[in-house]
Chains A and B, each alone.
Chain A
């Protein structure tokens, strides 16, 4: 399958807020990104950064009166925000699919694997049970599940974690979607199984040309799979760049923190460098930079600017943008001093 530069999913100024008893929770504010056909965008951030919520909003899965979604989400030219829920439903599972973190809780415990797969086929295609079952068997075989016919008649709890995630992937890809949203697909799995699942995703992407939005907090996964990266913090995109740039030329102190917290074998250091403090409460957002309260370098910016003014997402080089008040020279100096980012 050839990869084109055609934009499949275009998100502009997506904001999601929830009305709660404690106040308005701004889970996602003004996030914009593009996903091109056949490419992988990784959305990186810690829990509560808004990465999952933004994808659920795209899928139209934030129903209920308490969620407010605004902005534009254009999928292959079709506007999804504010669209007829029935139209969005028809896209789900057929052209946009999703897999989740914990495959045990994401599969229905009371129905056989086969029945769940057949249902996924038949909701979008008028095919006989036998044909749908054949398709289900094909997909299970494709995702590397042995003795398919037997597995079809088993229940989720009879499979291992890795097998369950393979079933989830088979179910997501069964209607050959153009976009797959993978929400922490390997987080709940053993390390060895994680690698297998990532390999599988990569192979399937090549084979089917599926674009992937990969939500993760694991930069190892990002390096493995992503073409582009969006780093989210406190509901905002704080840095967006091609994957190489994120690792070699990171521009934002939060991204530096993320990189510094990856254990590295070849670096002679006795301990990891965690980011001090906690993520911001999404109810009372800081007025300035969302990361300022935890930022080690905010004092290098004059006039207390970090605490008072939210930095814009500024382009630092082609395809690379970051939200930070530090000057380019300051960032270069800090990266050099702290040995952040891999040398070219």
Chain B
């Protein structure tokens, strides 16, 4: 197991390196001159040229890349002389649009996205798995059909629709909740919950529908296995048969999806964050894209992709914890 983890960690470093190169090249291959983007309204050719040097954009591409990577570990100072912009490690670049270090912006946005993703994750996993198991237990009966019908509707509705409907009815019409206004949970826990509950629900509806279907099909498959018949032949109560013998065996694909879905959301739930005015990573990256804020775009892409790669590693390790056959081969 230990050499396996080391090997996987090594592989992860390689993947992250490749990813950073691709991200870097992609956004530096845009037809617009990055230096032009830094100089605002009163732009003169001299200013553009000065900015180019200040940002290191006059250097060959590979030098730019190395500087960019180096800055993540040791930080970097843009410009020289009197006009310097220090960027502390881990420096992911300097956003001239916002006049701020990208790392600082991400640090501010990330907790919000994490709260959003984790809250929704807990909701959808609990509801998705429970209703999936229930539907499988009542396969071909009306309970199964009702749950699958509801899940299909939930799965077909786009998240912006669910979000807007919730917002209009719960907040605007019925005044059950105040208009979403994000504060950190340590500042005002009640307002935090009031703001987060609807985004959590809208995201969870979409994913819970998917996990209901996934859990149900997994359970239907494992519950027809021979070892389930053995478990019943032992005289185990049905609840133990389903939970301990059935669910455990059907868990692997659910864990896979869960890990990757959560990682994807941690990279930013763009639409949900927009609808509920949550200043998370999704809004940050969309804002960066519309404003052509290249350092921010590359940084958010890198952060989001890192989540996915790390999640992949965790999921693979969870496989080994779930299935002993993976552990030993």
Contacts and interface: CB of A to CB of B under 8 A. Distances in A.
Interface stretch (A95-103, A129-137, A292-300, A315-323): A95-103
Contact of B233 (A65, A97, A110): A97
Q: Is the interface of B mostly helix, strand, loop or mixed?
A: helix
B317 to A, nearest CB: 16
B172 interface: no
Given A65-B141, A155-B325, A158-B328, A106 B235 contact: no
Interface stretch (B119-127, B206-214, B222-230, B297-305): B222-230
B248 to A, nearest CB: 6
Contacts of A123: 234-237, 240
Given A110-B324, A155-B324, A90 B226 contact: no
B70 interface: no
A59 B233 CA distance: 7
Contacts of B235: 89-94, 123-124
B225 A105 contact: yes
Interface string A85-121: 0000111111001101010011111101000000110
A172 B322 CA distance: 26
Given A65-B141, A89-B237, A105 B325 contact: no
B249 interface: yes
Nearest to A172: B233
A61 B229 contact: yes
Nearest to B226: A105
B233 A108 contact: no
A157 B325 contact: yes
Contact of B236 (A109, A119, A155, A172): A119
B231 interface: yes
A105 B140 CA distance: 26
A109 B227 contact: yes
A59 to B, nearest CB: 6
B76 interface: no
Contacts of B328: 155, 157-158
A150 to B, nearest CB: 15
Contact of B245 (A102, A108, A168): A108
B249 A110 contact: yes
A94 B141 CA distance: 32
Contacts of A108: 227, 230-231, 245, 249
Nearest to A120: B234
B249 A109 contact: yes
Nearest to A98: B233
B49 to A, nearest CB: 65
B227 A92 contact: no
B54 interface: no
B323 A102 contact: no
Contacts of B227: 105-109
B232 interface: yes
A106 B141 contact: no
A171 interface: yes
A59 B322 CA distance: 31
A54 B234 CA distance: 18
Interface string A136-177: 000000000000000000010110000000001001100000
Given A89-B235, A108-B249, A102 B324 contact: no
A171 B245 contact: no
Counting chain A CB atoms within 10 Å of each CB, the highest count among B140, B236, B237 belongs to B236
Nearest to B245: A108
A188 to B, nearest CB: 11
6 contacts: A89-B237, A100-B230, A105-B227, A106-B229, A109-B249, A124-B235
Interface of B: 140-141, 225-227, 229-237, 240, 245, 248-249, 322-325, 328
> Which A-B residue pairs are the 4 nearest by beta carbons?
A93-B235, A92-B235, A105-B226, A93-B234
